[in-house]
Amino acid sequence: MEQLVTSDFKLGIIAGGQLGKMLVLAASNWDVRTYILDTDDHCPAATSCTCFVQGSQLDYDDVIRFGNMVDLITFEIENVNIEALKQLKADGKKIYPEPETLEIIQDKGLQKIFYRDNHIPSPRFVLCDNREAVLAAAERQTLPLPFVQKLRKGGYDGKGVALMRSKDDLVDALNGASVVESLIDIRKEIAVIVARNGRGETQCFPVVEMEFNDEANLVERLICPAALDAEILAQATDIATRIVSLLNLRGVLAVEMFVDTNNAVWVNEIAPRPHNSGHHTIESVVTSQFEQLLRAIFNFPLGSTQLKMPSVMINLLGEPGCDGPVRYEGLTECMSIGGVKIHLYGKKVTKPFRKMGHVTVLAPTIEEAIQKSDIVKRTLRVTSW
């Protein structure tokens, strides 16, 4: 095991966005050589990794070529060519999480079947092959309105999700194989990141609350720890632990959940990789989600997930109306606020609502962290020249 982190061990990370960059930085604490596969040679991880390999994570030949350059493969994105990963695995390459697990998660329909078969609480659903089938399901009340239509594949950050509150909304039904699921009366959206190593040991991070920007459908503010009764928190961590164990997953798994107005907990979706809802762990938890992923895939004991200090994380999104070379306004003012930790991903070009960075605010109380994060939100702006 030791040789994994004290030698010329080559860790391959598929895709080099901000998650890849933060993973590379965590790996740099050990003597690991990091290889990044990405189409964009200016991607956030390109300047920090040991070796940048240009290519698409969706292209069979690119993934095979990349896989053959490294000792172990992980990924920071779900949308990866599965056939290539399966071939690499058949050739003896170590890939964690494994391609078969990723294949289930890539398809929201297979995810829902997995929850149903394993009695994991998740909103009731039907599968529809196309738009016509969605309209027919609404007509026949196979699943009564209101409901949520989600494309089975390719959606992210709310893209590929359509809320159907009444018959009038059906004109906006999406075309494509979909999950149609009942609408939950949401009190809070929460997430739990759980890690599992090769010995089957599991460890959950503290439950977080997520507040969304309705316009962009991106997390606007993340609060850790979540202000919920101990019983609900225990349910959420128990569900996350059950899922990671049932999937036999080695790595980290982010489990997004809803707490409804009756305080019932429902699984929304899962992601088998580091997650936006775990950015704060870099500063506010003893072990970050990135170090934990490395421990899990290298089969080390998992690290402590004890909270060091309450925290609020806000995403730095490109301002609406700004499209071009990036400019940050208000950095100096924000750096002068105690407990404010600014992360800029190094993307050269901003676009409306593009994730350009994040800020974690640490404070002795959540109230203080929220107050400071509000100042940061007003002051720190991502515009263009």
* Residue 92 Ramachandran class (φ > 0 left, ψ -120 to 50 alpha, else beta): left
> Contacting ligand ADP (CB under 6 A), which of 62, 76, 189, 291?
189
Interface with ligand ADP, residue 297, by CB under 6 A: no
DSSP string, 183-228: PP-EEEEEEEEEEE-TT--EEEPPPEEEEEETTTTEEEEEEES---
Burial 220-248 (b: 16+ CB within 10 A, else e): bbbbbbbebeeebbebbbebbbbbbeebe
Residue whose CB is less far from ligand ADP, 83 or 156: 156
For 15, the token pair is 């895709």
Interface with ligand ADP, residue 112, by CB under 6 A: no
Interface with ligand ADP, residue 272, by CB under 6 A: no
Interface with ligand ADP, residue 220, by CB under 6 A: no
Residues 71-90 that bind ligand ADP (CB under 6 A): none
Stretch that binds ligand ADP, among 8-16, 17-25, 77-85, 179-187 (CB under 6 A): 179-187
11 by Cβ neighbours in 10 Å (0-12 / 13-18 / 19+) ranks as buried
Residue whose CB is less far from ligand ADP, 211 or 374: 211
Nearest residue to the partner ligand ADP, using Cβ: 184
Interface with ligand ADP, residue 362, by CB under 6 A: no
The Cα 129–Cα 357 span in angstroms is: 37
> Contacting ligand ADP (CB under 6 A), which of 184, 194, 334, 359?
184
Residue whose CB is less far from ligand ADP, 268 or 315: 268
Residue whose CB is less far from ligand ADP, 155 or 303: 155
Q: How many residues bind ligand ADP (CB under 6 A)?
A: 20
Stretch that binds ligand ADP, among 56-64, 66-74, 109-117, 156-164 (CB under 6 A): 156-164
Residue owning tokens 């569900």: 239
Shortest reach from residue 99's CB to ligand ADP, in Å: 20
The Cα 102–Cα 154 span in angstroms is: 13
Q: Maximum distance among all alpha carbons in the chain? A: 62
Handedness of CA 23, 24, 25, 26 (dihedral sign): positive
> Contacting ligand ADP (CB under 6 A), which of 47, 139, 156, 167?
156
Residue whose CB is less far from ligand ADP, 111 or 288: 111
Residue 117: partners with Cβ closer than 8 Å, 6 or more residues away: none
Residue whose CB is less far from ligand ADP, 159 or 199: 159
Are 109 and 179 in contact, with CB atoms under 8 Å apart? yes
Interface with ligand ADP, residue 183, by CB under 6 A: yes
Residue whose CB is less far from ligand ADP, 150 or 372: 150
Stretch that binds ligand ADP, among 80-88, 184-192, 277-285, 337-345 (CB under 6 A): 184-192
The Cα 175–Cα 150 span in angstroms is: 10
The Cα 302–Cα 64 span in angstroms is: 30
> Contacting ligand ADP (CB under 6 A), which of 127, 133, 145, 161?
161
Residue 203's CB is within 10 A of a number of other CB atoms, namely 22
Residues 232-261 that bind ligand ADP (CB under 6 A): 256
- HEC sequence for 44-69: HHHHCCCEEEECCCCCHHHHHHHHCC
Contact footprint for ligand ADP (CB under 6 A): 123, 148, 150, 155-161, 181, 183-184, 186, 189, 212, 217, 256, 268-269
